[in-house]
A and B are shown apart, each in its own frame.
Chain A
Amino acid sequence: MSLTPRERVSAQIKHQETDYLPYTIRFGSDMGEQIEAYGTDVAERLDTYYGSPTWRTLVDNAIARINTHNLGVDASTGSIYTDVYGCKWRVDRRPFHLEQPVLKTPSLRGYEFPDVDALFDAAWKQRTLHAIEQAKDHFVVVGFGFGLWERAWTLRGFDTALMDAAGEPDFFAELVDQITEHQLAIIERLVELPMDGVMFSDDWGYQRGVLLGPERWRRVMKPRLARMYARVHTAGKYTLSHCCGSVADILPDIIEIGLDVLESVQPEAEKMNPYELKRQFGSQITFWGGLGSQSLIPFGKPDEIRTEVAKMCREMSKGGGYVLSPAKPFQPETPTENAAAIIESFLQQAGVKFP
C-alpha cells in the first residue's frame, strides 16, 4: 500500500528511503510591485501555459505549514503596521520591512513582551485545529514566525542588533534570554496541538557565512536554541528550521542540539552544496530544499532543471533524510517554462504523468 505524504516525510526524517521523495513547491512570496513588473504571477501564468488550473490539484505538498498569524506582520492594508511587540513595519512596499524597532536603546528596562496567554487563546487554538484537520494525511508543522535571532533584530533593528552582539554583549545576552523564555512559552502552546513538528524560522546565514560569526553563534544562540528544541522533542514532536544562507560552519552544532530538518539549503551560498552536505552530514539531519533559487530556477534552462532534479532524486534520496524542494518560493521573474519544469519533474518522480 502506498504511503501517505505524512508517512513519507516521517520515514525520510528517520532516514529511511521511500517509494519516491516527498516534495514541496511554494508560490508567491509577497512581492506585489515586483510581480507587476513581470506581468502576472507565476501560478497564473502556469494556468495559461497548461490551458487550465488542473496542475494545481496534482501538486500535493507533503508538508503543510501552518503559521500562527497572531505574531506576524499584517501587510494587507495601510502603510505602517505595528506588530504585537510594538515594532512598526512599512507594509506598502514589498517585501515589507522594519521601519521602527521598539527598543531604541540597548536596554530592556520598561519593556514587556506580549502576553502569550492572550495571544494563544481559545480562538487561536480552534482556528489552528481547524487548519490541522484540513491538512489530514500531510506532515503538519506549526510555526511561530521570527525565531530567536530574527526576533532580536526586529526588536532592535537589523544593523543595531548586529552591533549589539559585538558592542553590547551583556545586553544582547539578556535580550536573547528574554526572547528564549517568551518563545518557550509559545512552544508550550504549539506542542499541545495534534501535529508533527514545530517550524522555526531563523536566518543565521548570509551568502558568505554565519552572520554573527560561528563562535558567537555557538556562545549566544546555540544553548538557547538547544532548550527550545529539547522542549519540542520532549513533547514527541520534530524540530524543523528555515534558515537562509551559509550555515555549513555551524551545521555540526545545529545537529548536536537536535534540529531534525534544515529547510532552504541554498546551494549558491558558501559551502552549501547539497551533495557535499549530504556526504558529510546526511545521516544526521534531514535536508529540505536545495534546488537553486538564485541561479538554476530563475536563470537556468528547463532541461538543466530536469537534469538537476533527477540528480537530486538519485543522490539526495540515498539513505533517506531528504525532502525535495526549491530553496525558496518561486520568485516573480521565474520563467513559466522553468516553473513548469519543476512541477513536471517533481510529479514525474512521484509517478504522476503530467501533462
Chain B
Amino acid sequence: MSNVLNELADKLYAGDAKSVPVLVQSALDQGLTPAQVLNDGLVAGMDRVGVDFRNGEIFVPEVLVAARAMHAGMNILRPLLVQSHVASAGKVVLGTVAGDLHDIGKNLVGMMLEGSGFEIIDLGIDTPPGKFADAVKTHQPHLVAMSALLTTTMPGMKRTIDALTQAGVRANVKVIVGGAPVTETFAREIGADGYAPDAASAVELARALVGKEQKA
C-alpha cells in the first residue's frame, strides 16, 4: 500500500485533524482514487481505532478525536465519492428513540460506522417510531440502528419495530439496538436482528448483517 495512505491511517488513528485533510488531498494529487483513499486510508485507520477501543487499549476520548479527524478528511472526499459513484458499505438510518434525549452513544456508533464506510442518515434524538418508518421508506437503508440510554425509553425500540412492520418495511431492513441498559435478551424479545454492547462491536454487527443481506 502507498506510503501516503499508511501515513493517513496513522494520523487518523492519532486524531490529527490538521494532517488528515492534507494527506487526503495529497493522496488524491498522487492519482489515487477516492475509493482507495477511503478504504485504504480512512477506513483502515478507523478499523484500528475500533479494534483497540474494543480491546481496552484506547478510550472514548481517542475515538472521538479520531472521528473528528476522519470528518475533516471526509469533507474533501465525500463529494468525490458521490461523483465517482462509489458504493458505501451500506446505508444506515440511525437515531435515539422517542422520549430519549441522549446522543453520545448514538453519535459514537454513527462515527464508527461512517469510519467503516457506511452511509449514515442520522435522525437525531427523541425520534418517534413514525419518523424511523418514514426514513426507511425514503432512504431504503440496509439497517436501522436505535439507541436508548434510559430503561424508561427502551419500550420505544419495540414500538419502532412495530411501526416498521405496520409501514410494511420491516422485511426490507435489519434492525440493531444498543445503549447502556439494553441487552442481547431484550433485543431478542423485541424482535431486533442484533445487539451490540459498544460502538466497535456495532460496526462488526453491521458488516455481518449487511454482508448476509447482500449475499442473500
- A: which residues have CB within 8 A of B? 31, 33-34, 37-38, 93-95, 97, 158-159, 162-163, 165-167, 206-213, 216, 245, 268, 293-295, 298-299, 331-333
Contact = CB atoms under 8 A, between A and B. Distances in A.
Interface of B: 15, 17, 56, 58-62, 64-65, 68, 99, 101, 104, 107, 126, 150-153, 155, 180-181, 183, 197-198
A162 B64 contact: yes
Given A162-B64, A245-B180, 17 more contacts: A34-B99, A38-B152, A93-B126, A158-B104, A159-B64, A163-B64, A166-B15, A206-B60, A208-B197, A209-B59, A211-B61, A212-B59, A212-B60, A216-B59, A294-B151, A294-B180, A332-B152
Contacts of B153: 34
B62 A166 contact: yes
Q: Considering the complex of A and B, which 6 residue pairs feature the smallest CB-CB distances, nearest first?
A: A213-B59, A166-B61, A294-B181, A207-B180, A162-B61, A298-B151
Contacts of A298: 151
Contacts of B60: 162, 206, 211-213
Given A34-B99, A37-B99, A159-B107, A166 B150 contact: no
Contact of A159 (B56, B59, B104): B104
Contacts of B56: 209
A166 B64 contact: yes
Nearest to A215: B59
Contacts of B65: 163, 166-167
Contact of A333 (B104, B126, B151): B151
Contacts of A206: 60, 180
Given A34-B99, A207-B180, A299 B61 contact: no
Contacts of A333: 151-152, 155
Contacts of B150: 34, 331
A348 B195 CA distance: 39
Q: Of B59, B126, B181, B198, which is in contact with the most chain A CB atoms at under 10 Å from its CB?
A: B59
B151 A212 contact: no
B52 to A, nearest CB: 11
A331 B104 CA distance: 21
